[in-house]
């Protein structure tokens, strides 16, 4: 009887160890999945930030081009005003 109890105890311990191992595997799988999801979200955020920086750079370049066009237009208007004044004197 003591021998049978010893086998049952050993069998119970092995069974408990198997359940513990299965539980740990489940938790690890959960954590790995969660970390994978977090990495994907982080990657998307970095790409979005990169795209935002690219768009801001384009906007800045466009503003510089517009500023140049405005300065050129002001210069042309000034020259036309001078020509108009000269024509009025003639």
24 and 37 housed in the same domain: yes
Query: What's the rounded Cα separation, in Å, for the pair 38 and 45?
Result: 11
Query: What's the rounded Cα separation, in Å, for the pair 20 and 22?
Result: 5
Q: In the structure encoding, which two tokens stand for residue 7, read together?
A: 């086998």
Query: What's the rounded Cα separation, in Å, for the pair 16 and 85?
Result: 103
Instruction: Give the N- to C-terminal CA distance of the chain in Å, as an integer.
Output: 133
Per-residue pLDDT, 1: 54
Q: What is the domain range of residue 40? A: 1-48
Range scoring the smallest mean pLDDT among 6-10, 18-22, 37-41, 79-83: 6-10
Per-residue pLDDT, 26: 82
- 4 pLDDT above the threshold of 70: no
62 and 21 housed in the same domain: no
43 and 54 housed in the same domain: no
Q: In the structure encoding, which two tokens stand for residue 75, read together?
A: 């210069």
18 and 35 housed in the same domain: yes
28 and 41 housed in the same domain: yes
79 and 69 housed in the same domain: yes
């Amino acid at each position: 009887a003591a021998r049978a109890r010893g086998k049952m105890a050993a069998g119970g311990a092995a069974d408990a160890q198997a359940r513990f191992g299965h539980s740990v595997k489940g938790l690890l799988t959960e954590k790995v999945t969660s970390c994978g999801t977090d990495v994907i979200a982080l990657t998307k955020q970095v790409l979005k930030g990169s795209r935002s920086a690219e768009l801001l750079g384009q906007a800045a370049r466009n503003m510089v081009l517009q500023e140049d066009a405005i300065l050129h237009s002001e210069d042309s208007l000034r020259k036309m005003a001078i020509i108009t004044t000269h024509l009025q004197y003639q």
